[in-house]
Amino acid sequence: MALAALTACQKESDVISASKGVELTISASVASPADTRTTYTYTSGTQAGTIDVAWEATEYLTVVSIGESGITAVDEFVSTGDAGRTKAEFTGTWNGSAGDKVICLYPAVTKKLFKFY
């Protein structure tokens, strides 16, 4: 199961320095009836039902920073912890610029996909 983008992606601090290489922690969770990161309900065939998915022991996400002139940074953040947890804390170094918009992608993608970066 894959999420195109995390629905809960927030910076630990609301103030980000203009300098590059800021250490950040991003908390991620998605509310669902089963308190897991996502649920998927399928209705076709004889196997209709819900699949609950929880965080694995090690997870990665991609943080894409976008400025006025385009992408300024593509960074990978990692979360480690108990498999099955309902909340993941992703840590990494953010290399965007002050004022950038930030998009978090899960699962992580490689920088090769961002040819214009």
DSSP classification of residue 85: -
Per residue in 47-83, pLDDT (tens digit) is 666 666 678 899 999 999 999 999 999 999 999 999 8
Nearest residue to 77 (alpha-carbon basis) of 100, 89, 60, 64: 60
Nearest residue to 37 (alpha-carbon basis) of 116, 104, 113: 104
d(CA 8, CA 104): 9
Return the minimum-mean-pLDDT range out of 13-17, 34-38, 48-52, 53-57.
Answer: 13-17
pTM for the whole structure? 0.65
Highest mean pLDDT among 14-23, 53-62, 92-101, 106-115: 92-101
Place of tokens 């983008």: 5
* Residue 84 pLDDT: 81
The rounded mean pLDDT for the chain is 74
List, as one string, the DSSP characters of 19-65.
SS-EEEEEEE----TTSSSEEEEE-SSTT-EEEEE---SEEEEEEEE
* Residue 31 pLDDT: 55
Residue 25 pLDDT exceeds 90: yes
d(CA 80, CA 57): 5
